Chain A
Amino acid sequence: MKRTLLTLLLCVVMGTAVTAQNEFSSSVVEVDWEAVEVVIPPSPFQYQILFIGGEDMVQTGTNEEVPAKQWHDFIGFTPLTDEDCVDDPNAIGWVSINHERIQADDKIGDGGGMTTFLMGRQPSDDLLYVIPQTLSDGREGDFFNVDFSNVGETGMNCGGINSIVDGRIWTAEEWFRSDNASIYVDGNGVRDTTAYTIKYTEFEMANFETIPKYQNFNWMVEIDPRESKAVRKQYNWGRQPFEGGTIAADNKTAYLGADATPGFFTKFVADVEGDFTSGTTYVYKHDAAGEPWVEIDNTDFEKMLNFKDEAVAAGATMYNRLEWVTINKNTGKVYMTETGRDNPWDRWADEAAEGAVYAPHHIQRAADQGASGPDDENYWDYYGRILEFDPATGEINIFVEAGPYFPTSPSVNDYPAKHLSNPDGLNMLYVNVAGEDRTYMLINEDLNGTSFGRTPIEYPDDRMCEMYLLDMEVTNPTVDDLIRLTQTPRGAEITGACATTDGKSVLVNSQHPDSSNPFPYNNSLTFAITGFDDSGAIDVLSAPDFTGVPDDTFMISPNPVERIVYFNKATDVALYDITGKRIAVYRDVKSIDIAGLAQGTYLLKTVDGETRKLLVK
């Protein structure tokens, strides 16, 4: 007996020693940074794939179809109007999708391109579907390639404009070109590089001008989503590395962003509502006397071709890569992403010397970093930001600074749990939930790199791009106010984010995903998340408020949980199943994603030994 006891005692002591050794024992999983498929938000949201690049066929002519181009970028939604004759009573509107490429294709056309389709919504379950159409040029089918042959082809279709007034669509030709070789790409890009003569446009200053082919790229191009045809290149808005833009409620003012260092902020004001072929073009200069806008003569085609030189000469304000531009139709304020570039350095020094001015926040940031100015080799802009332009005051201010940005290093416990790096796609979502109108900003990341905390260290080359929602009710928002909505497959850029006018769905593109994802996630694709109008749907996505909960307690919420359970502090935790078997260890986390766990009861144990029962529903 005695011996048995002694043995037991030894066992207990050894057990204690081992416990002291490693707080959690065996077999582990971690936060869902490594999803290989689109991370689908929890119910009541519904998820659907609508359009797969390289897989779905686009109609390029009568009885002629080829697989769609890849690299989906911008998405536009054009709501059905009373004047549209569409047989399907559940049709809601047309979707237009950019392909950000320069690629030769005999059928689709060389360069980039767009795809359009008509979409309907099932009344029974709100799910979306593609409606077959017959276009007036005889094409029949589900997906249609936008014909750009009438405007001299297109390329690198990145962002665009989706008018809040009537759903008109412009596509932005980004990736500024400076010679024909760069569009020809040894015959793999735009193969016809003969000089282009502009003809029969509304722009008298441009008609019968013959320009090198590459100069017919990098314009904003309006398209007709109903007929899947280009309408016109906007020769009066200047030739710029356009990324995005927006139309104000007056249906006269267009705001445009250019993706370059320096990138300029441009405005066009039409003479007549809805007619963007004549009006005045301006570039933003924050320190101009009076109105912060300087006119650039858009009746001079040379000036439109060399827009940047004109902007520099006008002393315009320089930004570090402006991407998408959107407008809050409730307030009229304009928002744009300044995605950043790690080390802008000498990229804008010459322009500064010639009179262009740095945006004040870059001067401030450089000073904070101990750099001599925005053109200092050591000045960095790893994370980018969202800017707000208020037409009432003419001021541009930082709306949300992306990060983990900190002027001084935080302690581990204060290290930000949310990161927003290199915001790119930007749009608004207006939704009526239980009779209440709510407005959200949709923010898409497109990481410029992985360094300095832009990705978790386990995945140094995997670019996880996330999409966030921001409630526009929040005053002085920070990264902590962002609600993580979804994440695209590994390696993909998340982009497009476009709400349907009814506010029920958001369409998203997963662009150029990593090779190693399973089909169809190895292709660029368009997917939809539906259910934003459901009561409480958006609330299930956001983190609970733990204000006032002391750090020496361990609180978890929600519980029961469906997807993400949040903690009141960052800690190491292990998750045990009902039998006491450890099934996961997470370190330094403020929340965990329990996707993939079976329903039931689990135990969460912190590194300090605090335990909480967790119900997974």
Chain B
Amino acid sequence: MKTDTFFFLGSFLLAGLLIIASKPPKKTRTYVDKAIGSINDKFHEDLSDCYNVALQFHEAARSFQEGKASENQLKEEYSQLRKSFKKIEFFIEYLDKEAFDKTMNGAPLPKLEKKVADLRVLQPKGMQVIDEIMASEFAVTDKQDLVSNAYRLESDLKKIKQFLGVRRLTDRQFFEASRQALVRLTTLGITGFDTPGTQVGIEDATVVLQTQQEYLRFYNKELKNVNAPKLLKDFIRVSNQGISQTQKGSFENFDRLTFIKTVVNPLYKGIKDIHLALDYETIEEVSRYPLAVNYKADHLFEKDFLNKFYYVSIANDTNFNKIASLGKLLFYDPVLSKNNSISCSSCHAPEKAFTDGLTTSNSNTGSPLKRNSMTLNYSVYASAYFHDLRTKRLEDQFEHVVTSKDEFDSSYPEIVQKLNTSPTYSEMFTKAFPAYDKPIKPNNIDYALAAYVMQFTAFDSPVDTYFQETSTSLSEEVKNGFNLFTGKANCATCHFLPTFSGLVPPLYKETEAEVLGVPESNSEPWILDDDLGRLGNGVTQEVADFYGNAFKTPTVRNIEKTGPYMHNGVYKTLEEVMEFYNLGGGAGLGLGIDHQTLAPDPLNLTDKEISDIIAFMESLNDTKEFSPPSDLPRDFSEKKLNERELIK
């Protein structure tokens, strides 16, 4: 009885408590009272500040042109401009990437206007253009250029302020933007990409880290509510370590390797941890479409930092492994070529990181073709294929090999017809593509080959495992080589981390091409190789002079195995390659190429520095090895076909 009464009273009390609890407490207004409210306010304020500083800078540039201000005064104003720009950069880049690239901080290279019926060259503008002028001799024309570019920056910031000043960010977006900022800082900031003239990327990094701290501190209260204030404390501690590293560093001596490993990687993970602890939605929950950067990844060198399924039209589903296994057979099978004599592996041999070791590849009759065979490792991470960037995705690449008279000299109908006569292949296609009545279709052949190639992404080189914390040591030479590669030698401003290819961070959606001025042979007199590259790729929308002699920037991963080097295989050794770059490419050799995208100035690398860089590059070899299948299907109805060779 007593128990019942207690129970009754208890229930009554509990009910009362629940009523009180369910009565809404003082309403917390999301975009006003919570962290995100303060974040939005700060962003809008910083944006206004930056606009005002840009106005001032425009004034300063004019005064300088008129001789009313000194160079030092101008440089002081520029320093202020960089500081206030770096505070808002991460939001602008995240919120309006296109406007950001076109007007704020795109590479200082001309581009073609997209989606218009005529060929229109858009001249670059924004911070990088200004940075180049700030490092110039300030000739009369430089001063004029500075004034007009400062004016452009001011007007463009005004438009951006008008547009973004009314947008409201959510928590998810803030966290994503902040992590993206770390990727930018690492790949484009400290490497010197963002500051092609003044090379003040290390100073910039200090501002970025400080700003990020200021913003994240707004979450202090919310983190306490979920009993996770330690996440913020840890974040600030690491961030402060980073700030002290950047404050001590200069472009020449900054230890990027240590900075990435001990600061950037933990911070990148730290933001995600804070985000998840607060239980805000993530992009991966919001979007059914895979992004190129996998939000779940803890750091840049994690194996799945990039989502390879972003780059292809093949679905990441249960059939993928079947499709890839099928692709593995097709890859080594000469049945795809007209005379059943050559296969993909003829020019892409697994032990050479899927290259052929030749200066330029051989045709189906054994005569040399125009270009060097490219490595297939990590090739899935790209928006353009072939040295001349003529196709846009991995699956489309194969078609060109099939129809080329010099290569497979075949056609899809011919291949489909042949494959249909093998019960093994028919069954494998049926299992790999169950949704199709007739699964042996051109696009499915492409998918299978692409799926196989997609697997060559080991990310297990000594450099990777060092960052992944699964191995602890790298030699001093390799460490020094990494720091030179990402610093003084300017390699990482085109071979971007972590793919070490032309896939541009921080979104990793676009592959770049560069004009290097590669000569036709490695001996004097220097003559520019006559291959037009991108200009001659047949893409109607890419017919611009500045694409002449432009070639896709390949990955330097596994480079020890992929020689000879360059699109024409002109260099046999890495020493020769380094020598070419050290002299400033074709322009440095005196080749009179006016649109070279590589700086024509010598890098002034010493022999020791060159050998360290090579030691580093040789530490980018995958550990994992890929091997051919043991045999090919030999049940074609045509007997002769069953005698074909497995090409390894």
Separation of A446 and B28 alpha carbons in the complex (Å) = 42
Please state if A29 and B21 are interface contacts (CB–CB under 8 Å).
no
Please state if B30 and A607 are interface contacts (CB–CB under 8 Å).
yes
Q: How far does the Cβ of A521 sit from chain B's closest Cβ, in whole Å?
A: 9
Please state if B10 and A447 are interface contacts (CB–CB under 8 Å).
no
Separation of A447 and B278 alpha carbons in the complex (Å) = 36
Contacts of B155 in A (CB 8 A): 377-378
Question: How many residue pairs, one in A and one in B, have C-beta atoms under 8 Å apart?
Answer: 171
Q: A18 within 8 Å of B by Cβ?
A: yes
Contacts A176-B118, A447-B115 given: A188-B538 contact, CB under 8 Å? yes
Contacts of A615 in B (CB 8 A): none
A457 CB contact (under 8 Å) in B28, B173, B538, B540: B173
Q: B165 within 8 Å of A by Cβ?
A: yes
Give the interface residue-count category, chain B: 35 or more
B residues 240-296 touching A (CB-CB < 8 Å) = 278-283, 285-289
Q: A277 within 8 Å of B by Cβ?
A: no
A residues 349-384 touching B (CB-CB < 8 Å) = 377-378, 380
Please state if A452 and B165 are interface contacts (CB–CB under 8 Å).
no
Q: How far does the Cβ of B228 sit from chain A's closest Cβ, in whole Å?
A: 11
Residue of B nearest to A452 (CB): B163
Separation of A394 and B315 alpha carbons in the complex (Å) = 54
Separation of A609 and B28 alpha carbons in the complex (Å) = 11
Please state if B313 and A515 are interface contacts (CB–CB under 8 Å).
yes
Task: Fill in one digit per residue for B407-421: 1 if any A CB lies within 8 Å of its CB, else 0.
Answer: 000000000000000
The number of residues on chain A lying at the interface, defined by a beta carbon within 8 Å of a beta carbon of chain B, is 79
Q: How far does the Cβ of B646 sit from chain A's closest Cβ, in whole Å?
A: 30
Contacts A22-B278, A515-B312 given: A189-B98 contact, CB under 8 Å? no
Residue of A nearest to B13 (CB): A5
Please state if B17 and A12 are interface contacts (CB–CB under 8 Å).
yes
Q: A476 within 8 Å of B by Cβ?
A: no
Residue of B nearest to A263 (CB): B117
A448 CB contact (under 8 Å) in B97, B115, B226: B115
Contacts A12-B17, A185-B540, A519-B443 given: A462-B289 contact, CB under 8 Å? yes
Please state if B25 and A20 are interface contacts (CB–CB under 8 Å).
yes
| Among A30, A243, A260, A587, residue most surrounded by chain B Cβ atoms (within 10 Å) | A587
Please state if B312 and A516 are interface contacts (CB–CB under 8 Å).
yes
Task: Fill in one digit per residue for B140-165: 1 if any A CB lies within 8 Å of its CB, else 0.
Answer: 00000000000010010001001101
Separation of A29 and B286 alpha carbons in the complex (Å) = 4
Contacts of A20 in B (CB 8 A): 25, 28, 225
Please state if B117 and A260 are interface contacts (CB–CB under 8 Å).
yes
Contacts of B283 in A (CB 8 A): 458
Contacts A34-B289, A185-B540, A188-B538 given: A587-B170 contact, CB under 8 Å? yes
Contacts A5-B13, A457-B94 given: A21-B225 contact, CB under 8 Å? yes
Residue of A nearest to B20 (CB): A12
Task: Fill in one digit per residue for A545-578: 1 if any B CB lies within 8 Å of its CB, else 0.
Answer: 0000000000000000000000000001000000
Separation of A102 and B393 alpha carbons in the complex (Å) = 20
Q: A15 within 8 Å of B by Cβ?
A: yes
Contacts of A243 in B (CB 8 A): 117
Q: A410 within 8 Å of B by Cβ?
A: yes
Separation of A259 and B395 alpha carbons in the complex (Å) = 33
Please state if B152 and A182 are interface contacts (CB–CB under 8 Å).
no
Q: How far does the Cβ of B32 sit from chain A's closest Cβ, in whole Å?
A: 11
Separation of A8 and B536 alpha carbons in the complex (Å) = 74
Q: B166 within 8 Å of A by Cβ?
A: yes
A residues 13-71 touching B (CB-CB < 8 Å) = 13, 15-18, 20-23, 25-30, 34, 36
Contacts of A342 in B (CB 8 A): 113
Q: B168 within 8 Å of A by Cβ?
A: yes
Contacts of B393 in A (CB 8 A): 515-516
Q: B14 within 8 Å of A by Cβ?
A: yes
Task: Fill in one digit per residue for B109-127: 1 if any A CB lies within 8 Å of its CB, else 0.
Answer: 0000111111010000000
Q: B24 within 8 Å of A by Cβ?
A: yes
Please state if A516 and B311 are interface contacts (CB–CB under 8 Å).
yes
Q: How far does the Cβ of A391 sit from chain B's closest Cβ, in whole Å?
A: 27
Q: How far does the Cβ of B255 sit from chain A's closest Cβ, in whole Å?
A: 33
Please state if A182 and B540 are interface contacts (CB–CB under 8 Å).
yes
Residue of A nearest to B283 (CB): A458
Q: A411 within 8 Å of B by Cβ?
A: yes
A residues 146-193 touching B (CB-CB < 8 Å) = 174-176, 181-182, 185-189
Residue of A nearest to B310 (CB): A516
Q: B640 within 8 Å of A by Cβ?
A: no
Please state if A102 and B285 are interface contacts (CB–CB under 8 Å).
no
Contacts of B6 in A (CB 8 A): 1
Please state if B226 and A18 are interface contacts (CB–CB under 8 Å).
yes
7 nearest A-B residue pairs (beta carbon) = A28-B281, A188-B538, A451-B99, A451-B98, A460-B97, A515-B393, A30-B286
28 A-B pairs in the complex with CB atoms less than 8 angstroms apart: A8-B14, A15-B21, A16-B21, A20-B28, A20-B225, A21-B278, A29-B288, A176-B117, A185-B543, A188-B538, A260-B118, A321-B116, A341-B116, A448-B115, A451-B96, A452-B96, A452-B99, A457-B173, A459-B287, A461-B509, A515-B395, A516-B310, A516-B313, A519-B313, A519-B443, A522-B313, A588-B170, A609-B24
Taking A13-B21, A457-B95 as known contacts, 13 extra A-B pairs with beta carbons closer than 8 A to each other, sorted by chain A number, are: A20-B28, A185-B540, A188-B538, A260-B118, A409-B163, A451-B102, A452-B159, A457-B173, A462-B289, A516-B393, A572-B30, A585-B281, A609-B27
